[in-house]
Amino acid sequence: MSLTVETLARLRTDAGAALLADAAARIDDDPVRTTAALRAAHSPELVAAALTTVRLRQRAATRLGPMADRMFFTPDGAEQVTRTAVAAHRAARFSGVQRIVDLCCGIGGDLLGFAAAGIAVDAIDADPLTAAVAAANASALGFDGLVSVRCTDALTVDLGGVPAAFCDPARRSGGRRTVDPESYLPPYSYVLELLARVSFAGAKVAPGLDHALIPAEVEAEWVSDRGVLVELSLYSRDLATTTRRATVLPAGASLTGDGEPAPVGPIGDWLYDPDPAVVRAHLVGELASSLGAAVVDPHIAYLTGPRVPTPFAKAYQIQDVVPFSLKKLRSALRTREIGRLTILKRGSAVDVEQLRRDLRLRGPNEAALALTRIAQRPVALICSALD
Ligand SMILES: C[S@@+](CC[C@H](N)C(=O)[O-])C[C@H]1O[C@@H](n2cnc3c(N)ncnc32)[C@H](O)[C@@H]1O
């Protein structure tokens, strides 16, 4: 059983903190013995809530870092929480803002980012337990004076009197991700109204959102963290400084532009595999310009060109280009004594794991293999392994 408002309140007492510490110390022991030992002094509901909290803290640590150890979670809240690095980046986008309304605060990933940047937060969540968890997290991290949390429906907030706001609608229902943005809670139409009416407004939406649904005056920022595309943020006119932006964290580097077409060129010395934020933002053309590179095919996002260090792509030195054939590839990799191979693909339907088995790799060397198509023909680029 996970947390309730009641068990949360008890876990926040000194006795609750001692129980959590005990549960954390025993979490890897035999579960039956651990539960029995903890139940000697506490009710089954409280023990269950403590054990769930410890497990969710462990799971959230990759997204939230060490602060996860002081936080409380609902299972849904832990799934939806914004990563610390992304929340900090977002808070920086609101620099100069003194106070913000977080209209769908969840368990508080974003509000903690705002508070850590010194921005006062009026947070709202429609779910009573989630709101209570957000308040507990603000308190646990020392932001009592800066954060207030209310349980209410964002749709009842008069946007007319709000100078700065952020909204991260729920995008799950029944454990599934919602694809239709109008099924977000609150719906995408509400996000658009927020961006139009509030001067300093931001929203987090799914990175797969159709570009056609983004108003022209809004800045769209696709964000990746450690190579994983994590979100699309939208910013109102007063916060917008460009139309499209790809930001890669933790580097904190941004590529901006309108989506210029990339030139097509012959295969050069280096292959660039652009970061997913660059690809989703449709900024491969801008990346090509910055690198003096070109795409290998007008429909494929691999770039080729000279070696230029960039945070926006992984770069591989090209050793050989062969038409795709299992026999030829196996022989080329055998000759090079390649035992470890990173396989990348764009525009190829090849089953990578099946190919890996079929290649029967052997040898002390390492390489990368990029499968793609050029002018409709399947091609394999044998490259040096990533540094
Ligand atoms: C994606 S989560 C927010 C996650 C949060 N940004 C974080 O980093 O922890 C969305 C939240 O919106 C809340 N929500 C959904 N509809 C709402 C509404 N109409 N008013 C207020 N909150 C709402 C849900 O309860 C959920 O906690």
Q: Could you say which of 254, 283, 306 is where a domain stops?
A: 254
Number of domains in the chain: 3
Residue 12 and residue 88 in one domain: no
Q: Are residues 222 and 123 part of one domain?
A: yes
Give the model's pLDDT for residue 174. 60
Q: Specify if 264 maps to a domain.
A: no
Ligand 1 contacts CB of residue 102 (under 6 A): no
**Does some domain include residue 286?**
yes
Q: Which residues of the chain are modeled with pLDDT < 70?
A: 1, 173-177, 387
In short, whether 41's Cβ falls inside 6 Å of ligand 1 is no
| Ligand 1 neighbourhood includes 219 CB (under 6 angstroms) | no
Residue finishing a domain among 14, 41, 64 = 64
Domain that holds residue 25: 5-64
Q: Could you tell me if residue 260 is inside a domain?
A: no
Determine whether the shortest distance from the Cβ of 16 to ligand 1 is under 6 A.
no
Q: Can you tell me the distance from the alpha carbon of 244 to that of 218, in angstroms, rounded to the nearest whole number?
A: 9
The pLDDT of residue 279 is: 97
Give the Å distance between the CA of 106 and the centre of ligand 1.
Answer: 5
In this structure, is residue 263 part of a structural domain?
Answer: no
> Which ligand 1 atom minimizes the distance to the CA of 155?
19
pLDDT at 32: 92
Distance CA 55, CA 49 (A): 10
Helix (H) / strand (E) element for 19: namely: helix 14-26
Q: Which residues contact 124 (CB under 8 A, 6 or more apart)?
A: 101, 102, 103, 104, 105, 131, 149, 150, 151, 152, 154, 157
Phi/psi for 159 (5° steps) reads: -65, -20
328-362 pLDDT tens trace: 999 999 999 999 999 999 999 999 999 999 999 99
Same domain, yes or no: 17 and 102: no
Closest atom of ligand 1 relative to the 172 alpha carbon? 1
pLDDT of residue 387: 63
For ligand 1, pick from 103, 105, 122, 166 the residue to mutate: most ligand atoms within 8 Å of CB: 105
pLDDT at 2: 78
Residue 69: inside a domain, yes or no? no
- CA–centroid distance, 44 to ligand 1, in Å, is 29
Distance (Å, rounded) from C-alpha 329 to C-alpha 370? Answer: 12
Residue 259 lies in a domain: no
Residue 267 φ/ψ, nearest 5 degrees? -70, 125
Please indicate, yes or no, whether residues 280 and 215 belong to a single structural domain of this protein. Answer: no
In this structure, are 84 and 54 located in the same domain? no
Q: What CATH number is given to the structural domain containing 223? A: 3.40.50.150
My answer on whether 88 and 124 are in the same domain is yes
Q: What is the pLDDT of residue 179?
A: 80
Q: What per-residue confidence (pLDDT) applies to 386?
A: 77
Residues 29 and 99 in one domain: no
**Is residue 205 situated within a structural domain?**
yes
* Residue 292 sits in the same domain as residue 197: no
Note the pTM of the prediction, 2 decimals. 0.93
Task: Report pLDDT for 142.
Answer: 97
CB of residue 185 inside a 6 A radius of ligand 1 = yes
